[in-house]
Chains A and B, each alone.
Chain A
Amino acid sequence: MIVAVTTVIATTVRELLHVPDVEMLFLLGVMLVAATSERGPSIAASILSVAAYDFFIVPPPFTLDVEDARYVLTFVMMLGVGVVISTLSLRVREQERAAAQLAEETRRAALRAQTEELRSSLLSSVSHDLRTPLAAITGAATTLRADPELPAETRRELVETVCDEAERLERLLGNLLDMTRLEAGAVEPKRDWVPLVEIVGAALTRLDLQLAGRALTAEIPEDLPLLLADPVLLEQLLTNVLENAARHTPPGSPIELSARVDGERVVVEVADRGPGIPPGAEETIFERFRKGRHSAGVGLGLAIARAIAVAHGGTLVAASREGGGAVFRFELPGGDSPPASERAEGA
């Protein structure tokens, strides 16, 4: 193809140029072929070019006869240059391919190492966190088994320990499972239209004990639009943020939840009057296994909450609050309105 095109061009150009300059055009054609295809077609293009050059250009035109002996040298040169160029460009391409392969392998190895590192840090962090409650349970239970004469008060304490620590273990495992599933992208939000007040209600019911004795206000405008979100995940998000507030602020200090529409987004804020967030830690608190100083948790709650926000196309950020305390702001993109509610009035 390229040889044919070159020949056409060369024949036209011949009228305007000296004959020897035209061979350069053929070489250009050979180079093009060599740069883009395998060795066979490249050499074929070289030979074809020589033939076409001879047939169309070299006087007498339209024969394979050669009048001038120096054209024979030109043929040999053209053929030689064609072969050399194709070999060289082939070699360059091979090297490129090898380099790309190497880069891909390096990338994969790096990813493997990263995953491995993640896994081992996860494992070491988790096994420590799992062992602590397990140690407490084993200790308490074996004490109860070994000594039936324990004072009633001690027995009661040990039994409490078993119950509390088992609960902690359950929370921990639940968090780990959630985190793993969210990170693996295995959780696809099952979105539905939900009133925020229902989700808040469920979260507050779940946290009834942890929030006991606190002034907790929830200001949700009655006309707040329905959210298009996964109710189970959204409740998890709110529970984790509220639980975090309860855990890091003095007992009895207030927690304020509020919601509003801001442009296209629905904004939900959870504000407390605790110690606030240390400057510079606004982002790191969302990292996995990042524990607060007095935290009894594993440091997954906020990481999970953010992963849920992100899975919904939203954001979750934290900031210190004016006048002391922290505020967590969750933003969810507002969707269209749900299909109108068919009221079965009088039905």
Chain B
Amino acid sequence: MSDLEIQAGLGRSPRAARSSRLPRRFGVAESLAGLFALFLVTAALFPGLVAPGDPLGIDPLSAFQSPSFAHWFGTDESGRDIFTRVSHGTGSSLLIGTLATLIGLGLGLVLGTLAGMLGPVVDFTVNRFLEVLFAFPGLLLALLFILIFGPGVATATVAVGLATAPGYARIIRGQLLSVRSSAFVEAATVLGRSPGQILVRHILPNTLAPLFVLGTLGIGQAIVWASALSYLGLGAAPPAAEWGAMLSAGRTYIGSAWWMSFFPGLFIVLTAVSATALGRGIERRMRHA
């Protein structure tokens, strides 16, 4: 899925001027997204500051309480405070999202660069390899990987990274090819620069800039992916306060305790939304710079 959503970031054509109808200045949406991101970073680095309680502390006798002043987001089946768990889960959820995206991007970069730069034979080989990876449903790729290496946060992260790598690789290859055939690279070639110099000084910078945007967009999706793995019982081990795991655990009780899955889900969605808004804002600024 992240593949699609990544392409959304690159779907804009750099040729076209932006419409005057589009918000160009630092808009309300971006400010809100920035504030939320700030909150997330704080919660990830200093969870105790946001919610002083113990995310694993059980209190069986106050299980299944709906949101109240004492428990802002309610409590779960073991009486754990959901606000505390969501806050303390920020770190691991963001880590899963970020690391998985980095792994996917890193692999994609290697494969894409190989394919885009090293001539037709390598390009053909890498492309076939990508076809093979593409022909696997992403979830199956992740599933097989986790079953081989055992379930857990680390394997789920790598699995999501692997499953998203082919998409990134394809985009990067396309980007490389279009940059390589652009006028300034041709100009550099005419000026007699070596291929290595051209790659480092012209092609890579122009290819990598959009990757930053891809990355911000990919984080939310990676968290969603990881939550699907949790649903299949292959994600973070219980009772870790990880959003995806909480979402899938709370789903069982959706008829009697909606808050158990609503709040973790809300945070996943908000993270994806604010990452996308920020990513787009940055992209816009870079283009106009």
A and B: bona fide binding partners: no
